[in-house]
Chains A and B, each alone.
Chain A
Amino acid sequence: MANTLFDKIWDAHVVQKVEEGPTQLYIDRLYCHEVTSPQAFEGLRSRGLKCFRPERIYCMPDHNTPTHDQDKPIADPVSKMQVDTLAKNAADFGLAHFGMMDKRNGIIHVVGPERGLTLPGMTIVCGDSHTSTHGAMGAVAFGIGTSEVEMVMASQCILQARPKTMRITVDGKLGKGVTAKDVALYMMSKMTTSGATGYFVEYAGEAIRSLTMEGRLTLCNLSIEMGARGGMVAPDEVTFEYIKGREYAPKGEDWEKALAYWKTLKSDEDAVFDKEVRFDAADIRPMITYGTNPGMGMAITDFIPVTTEMSTVEKSSFEKSMHYMGFKPGESLLGKKIDYVFLGACTNGRIEDFRAFASIVRGRKKAGHVIAWLVPGSWMVDEQIRREGLDKVLQEAGFEIRQPGCSACLAMNDDKIPAGKYAVSTSNRNFEGRQGPGSRTLLASPLTAAAAAVTGVITDPRTLM
């Protein structure tokens, strides 16, 4: 029988199908960060349980970590407590832990792939919705709640309803200034934030194949913003080349064996998906969001939609959003003054994103009134930035590089956008208050963020390329 890539991996991990209920799925890798794990460890303790397969679990703090002075104790006592609790729990339960200042530390969704911990064919979960990122390597990866984290700790299994399958094909070649982030924002604007709810998405087509590993990670990262359970790209030479030689990747004979298996991980030609969606790469331009969910996006040269054809509930949600953002239906965003720029997050905190940002700001200067936070996704990314000399380019243009972590994406550390201020952000969510109470977020690619940083206003990056 013909199978999709998702079917192949899912079926290989089914322990049992519960009668009239969910599937008991075996999990190859559990990632834990400090925010969604403490109550799971507490649950294990109260039940007198240990971690069933501790060698499959990797822990690292990322959400609370400050992006400066990481060698000193965290100033916020509540953040410090949460980060310390993860270290203690990892020690108590015998789990690998990459603490702050460990060279392997960073955002968990950046570190997993770059260390070779995330591999094709795996099932991967984490108490974090952006776990979908890891699907870019050809894995079935999805975010879960804390009770489910506890389930996996206790049994290395999870009970889940089998999602439906969707294939999104993007034909053709991406135009100038159009990045993986723009592809994702474009899809969301067409599909809405709930358009893929209940589905596991496989991305396919020429435009997807042509993306680098970093680009695919960005794309899959944002699957959850269309409501999808996860997103994935079939592994190919780009994937294998990326993995080879990484710290935890298989070596020698194991590598050959793994590679032979990974090459079977693709949807059969006659496989049937529950839903098929097609887009044309030629229709995608640099994107920006204007509202308070990631589906409220448009080409940067477009105009905010008008409310004439909306239902009452739709209209009231839309108007609430416009009021929050300080925008009017029908207006253009080009030339609007912005206050902050954030480059980073599990969405766009990788080396390619820093290269893109640097390509725009090279030989230019940061606009005087703009506050820019450039936060590498991990220490490995930080090291690559310096090795490639991008730090010099950025410094000459008036930017400083901060220390790795989730940072202003959700503002659990000090990096908060003040109320009423506009931030062009490469992160994943523009929800009300996401980057700090009252903050106004405009999601965009690293190129568009860089264009805003040097001009001080919303700018089509293609005009600077």
Chain B
Amino acid sequence: MKQKFDIITSTCVPLPLENVDTDQIIPARFLKATTRDEKFFGDNLFRDWRYNPDGSLNKDFVLNNPVYSGTVLVAGKNFGSGSSREHAAWAIAGYGFRVVVSSFFADIHKNNELNNFVLPVVVSEKFLKELFDSIYADPKTEVEVNLPAQTITNKATGKTESFEINAYKKHCLMNGLDDIDFLVENKEKIEAFEQARKR
């Protein structure tokens, strides 16, 4: 899970829909698990788009199309809106995605991805549109996501954009560290804050 992050080069899975909400990423009926079993959540990623009501595969859905594969999911704007369920990030990670590219992410989901070592990459609308075009023109199109340099490159067009991530979180991702490690080491500061507040 705490996979260190560096440079990822991969083909992409295109999902050109806007406002993909976390109820679609993982429907509520799969939230009853009491463990963090990534395989279970990954198997049910986009469950109701991936399968027909009778349980058969929906051949029209992109995850069921063998032409598209890779560890990078490319989605329309406002990805991950709605519920705070981290199960959505577990499902994305469990399926094997390591990067999600979109022009806009919902706040809570973006944090959840980062806390699960999945990198949300925010690109411009123009870059996103071109990337969809490249993928549809050639499904073997690769992107290079370079976390140390904070850049993403569409290898079909050669176009590169830089993306933002705060230095602390970048350090965590590159070194496989999480926030709890940091906070627990800071207990004295927390106690000092509590004391100061009492006065």
Residues of chain A at the chain B interface (Cβ within 8 Å): 15-16, 18-22, 24, 26, 35-36, 38-39, 42-43, 47, 49, 52, 63-64, 78-79, 81-82, 85, 127-129, 131, 143-148, 150-151, 154-157, 159, 161, 163, 193-194, 197-198, 224, 227, 229, 293, 295, 313-314, 316-317, 320, 410-412, 419, 429, 431-434, 437-438
A78 to B32, CA, bound (A): 6
* 5 residue pairs bridging A and B, Cβ less than 8 Å apart: A131-B84, A146-B87, A147-B112, A148-B179, A295-B19
Name A49's contact: one of B108, B184, B186 (CB within 8 Å).
B184
Which interface residue of A35, A81, A429 has the most chain B CB atoms within 10 A? A35
Kindly report which residue of chain A lies nearest to residue B113, judged by CB atoms.
A145
Known contacts A26-B190, A431-B21: A411-B28 contact under CB 8 Å: yes
- Assembled-state Cα–Cα distance A227/B80 (Å): 10
> B84 touching A143 by the CB < 8 A rule?
yes
Is B32's CB under 8 angstroms from A81's CB? yes
Most chain-A Cβ atoms within 10 A of its Cβ — which of B18, B76, B112?
B18
* B78-A194 in contact (CB<8A): yes
Q: Given the complex, which residues of B lie within 8 Å of A19, measured CB to CB?
A: 167-168
**B104 near A: Cβ within 8 Å?**
yes
Would you call B189 an interface residue if the criterion is a C-beta within 8 Å of the partner chain's C-beta atoms?
yes
Given contacts A154-B180, A155-B184, A155-B186, contact A148 B169 (CB under 8 A): no
CB atoms of A145 and B81 under 8 A apart? no
- Report the interface size for chain B: residues with CB under 8 A from the other chain: 54
Q: Are A129 and B31 in contact (CB under 8 A)?
A: no
Knowing A24-B186, A313-B18 touch, does A38 contact B86 (C-beta < 8 A)?
no
Q: How far is the CB of B131 from chain A (nearest CB, A)?
A: 12
Expressed in whole angstroms, the minimum distance between the Cβ of A122 and any Cβ of chain B is 12
Instruction: Note all chain B residues with C-beta closer than 8 A to A143.
Output: 84, 108
Closest CB pairs A-B (n = 7): A21-B168, A20-B167, A145-B86, A147-B115, A155-B183, A38-B34, A145-B112
Select A412's contact among B29, B36, B197, beta carbons within 8 Å.
B29
Q: Mark B154-191, 1 if CB is under 8 A from A, else 0.
A: 00000000000011110000000011101110110110
Known: A39-B34, A313-B17. A145 touches B108 (CB 8 A): yes
Whether a CB of chain A sits under 8 angstroms from the CB of B82 is yes
Q: How far is the CB of B176 from chain A (nearest CB, A)?
A: 14
Task: From the candidates B23, B33, B76, B106, name the one contacting A433 in the complex (CB within 8 A).
Answer: B23
- Residue contact B81 to A194, C-beta cutoff 8 Å: yes
A127 contacts B84, CB within 8 Å? Answer: yes
Cβ of B148 within 8 Å of any chain A Cβ, yes or no, is no
Closest to B88 in A: A145
Q: State in angstroms the CA–CA spacing of A148 and B85 once bound together.
A: 11
Interface residue? B98 (CB, 8 A) = no
Q: How far, in whole Å, are A271 and B144 apart by their CA atoms in the complex? A: 44
CA distance A198 to B111 in the complex (A): 12
Residues on the B chain within 8 Å of A156, using CB: 190
Query: Do residues B104 and A194 form an inter-chain contact, with CB atoms below 8 A?
Result: yes
Contact of B10 with A by CB under 8 A = no
Q: Would A314 and B18 count as touching, CB distance under 8 A?
A: yes
Q: Which residues of B contact A295 (CB under 8 A)?
A: 19
- Cβ–Cβ contact A42 & B35, under 8 A: yes
Q: Is B83's beta carbon under 8 Å from chain A? A: yes
Whether the pair A411, B29 counts as a contact (CB closer than 8 A) is yes
Chain A residues positioned under 8 Å from B167 (CB to CB): 19-21
The answer to whether B182 touches A159, judged by C-beta atoms less than 8 angstroms apart, is yes
In the bound complex, CA of A431 to CA of B49 (Å): 13
Tell me which residues across on chain A come within 8 A of B178, comparing CB atoms: 147
Contact yes or no, B17 A155, CB < 8 A: no
In the complex the two chains form, is B183's CB within 8 Å of A227's CB?
Answer: no
Residues of B within 8 A of A15 (CB): 186, 189-190, 193
- Chain B residues, Cβ within 8 Å of A42: 34-36
The docked-state distance in angstroms from the alpha carbon of A317 to that of B89 is: 22
Let me know if A81 and B34 touch, CB within 8 A. Answer: yes
**Nearest CB on B from A54, distance (A):** 14
Complexed CA–CA distance, A434 and B182 (Å): 36
Of A22, A26, A194, the residue contacting B106 (CB under 8 A) is A194
CB distance from A382 to the nearest CB of B (A): 24
Known: A39-B35, A434-B28. A293 touches B84 (CB 8 A): no
Q: How far is the CA of A313 from the CA of B34 in the complex (A)?
A: 37
A129 and B182 CA atoms in complex are apart in Å by 25
* Most-contacted residue by chain B among A145, A429, A434 (CB, 10 A): A145
A437 touches B53 (CB 8 A): yes
Interface centre among B16, B81, B87, B182 (most CB of A within 10 A): B81
User: Are A317 and B108 within 8 A (Cβ)?
Assistant: no
The answer to whether B82 and A22 have CB atoms under 8 Å apart is: no
**Chain B residue at minimal CB-CB distance from A35:** B31
In the assembled complex, the Cα of A52 lies from the Cα of B180 at a distance in Å of 12
Which of A131, A157, A434 touches B23 (beta carbons < 8 Å)? A434
Distance in angstroms from B76 CB to nearest chain A CB is 5
